[in-house]
Amino acid sequence: MIERETGEAVPVELFVGALGASSYVYAEAVATQTLADWVGANTRMLEHFGAAPTIFVPDNLKSAVTTPCRYEPLVNRTFDDFAAHYAAVVIPARSRKPKDKAKVETNVLVAQRWLLARVRNRTFFSLGALNEAIAELLEELNTRPMRRLGVSRRALFESLDRPALQSLPARRYELAHWKYVRVNIDYHIELEHNLYSVPYQLLGEQLEARFTLTLVELYRAERRVASHRRLHGRGKVATLPEHMPAAHRAHAQWTPSRLINWASQSGPATATVVAEILNRRRHPEQGYRACLGIMRLGKRYGHARLEAASRRAVHLEAYSYRTLNNILSSGFDQQPLAAPEEAPAGPDHDNIRGPGYYQSLSEDS
């Protein structure tokens, strides 16, 4: 297609899918072969068919197959999740074995000849316009009789494929990403710069996070242990009350008192900073992560420097890990605290009366 502002020719990808018995074809142009475009094209293909197969046989592009292997290929986690949503499985074609997906290989050539060749002299300024043209030609391709069989792809689809396909679920697949995360001592995991709680019994466990634009789900050994509405932005916290220890007790190993006692080893100012961090949270557990960071600062810079930085933080009334880290990394902890400024004495001149003058007047009166 052509970039309207610059006139630059922008290459796009042609996605082609075909059903095994009827050779019923679906095709559309997409911007890239990235995961979002790949899953989106597959989703729209199923909606075009109005049904879903039980097996997907993709090529070995990275968005479909993470690790190609003749015997045990590793399917992309998101694409596998997509297939599971439609009650299907993914069995990738073997590398350099086009016969494993002969139907679609043949229909790629058909799409090039009957779709791309017929629009090659037209100018398109958007994917939407290009796909409108492809859709019109695709309908014509599927309804025209095939030369050898004398029957159209659509007729074969209605008689052979449609009865064998599954109904689509009520909800369309929402693109999901997967990531391994670890539960911190505050029984929260960090995902995309925000925190989400899990049952406190899972402290230290590695979980698998599945997250979409609207939802975050956390799994342990394929079993879902927590779900939250997705937070957007940075530094936000989602905590469910049922994930906390009874009566807001911290877990056995870490408690607010233990953290404050540890901080007092560096000095009273460090203990004050830690106590303020815990007191200013809705739940003390939400401050555990910051306190652990302060503990690491003590190991890195030593207790003496941490205490000096804490004194400066208390003086500034800035109780946070970030403040201490900035003070220590810049070396401000080694500078003396500024003494309180005294009121200026004022100019010294014979024509200016001082406070003693007014005091003497009041005594005379």
Does 363 or 83 have the greater pLDDT score?
A: 83
Closest by CA to 253, choosing from 186, 183, 190, is 186
Put simply, whether the predicted model's pTM sits higher than 0.75 gets the answer no
Task: Classify the C-alpha dihedral 300-192-258-205 as positive or negative.
Answer: negative
Q: pLDDT by residue (tens digit) across 175-212?
A: 999 999 999 988 999 999 999 999 989 999 999 999 99
Domain spans of the chain, in order of start? 13-164, 178-248, 256-334
Q: In the structure encoding, which two tokens stand for residue 86, read together?
A: 């439609």
Q: pLDDT by residue (tens digit) across 344-358?
A: 455 555 544 445 544
**Single-letter amino acid code for the residue at 13:** E
Closest by CA to 220, choosing from 203, 204, 208, is 208
Closest by CA to 91, choosing from 121, 116, 68, is 68
What is the pLDDT at residue 350? 53
Task: Classify the C-alpha dihedral 220-225-230-232 as positive or negative.
Answer: negative
User: Cα separation of 69 and 137, whole Å?
Assistant: 37
State the average pLDDT over residues 85-100.
85
Q: In the structure encoding, which two tokens stand for residue 302, read together?
A: 């030593």
User: Cα separation of 350 and 276, whole Å?
Assistant: 52
Q: Which residue has the tokens 């009520």?
A: 170
Task: Classify the C-alpha dihedral 115-121-122-125 as positive or negative.
Answer: positive
**C-alpha neighbours within 13 Å on the C-beta side of residue 19:** 28
* pLDDT score of 4 more than 80: yes
Lowest mean pLDDT among 216-225, 255-264, 266-275: 255-264
State the average pLDDT over residues 227-241.
91
* pLDDT score of 249 more than 70: no
User: Cα separation of 218 and 165, whole Å?
Assistant: 32
Q: In the structure encoding, which two tokens stand for residue 84, read together?
A: 């599971």
Strands 223-229, 74-75: parallel, antiparallel or unpaired by DSSP?
unpaired
What is the pLDDT at residue 30? 95
* pLDDT score of 365 more than 50: no
Gyration radius from the chain CA atoms: 34
CATH 3.30.420.10 fits 13-164, yes or no: yes
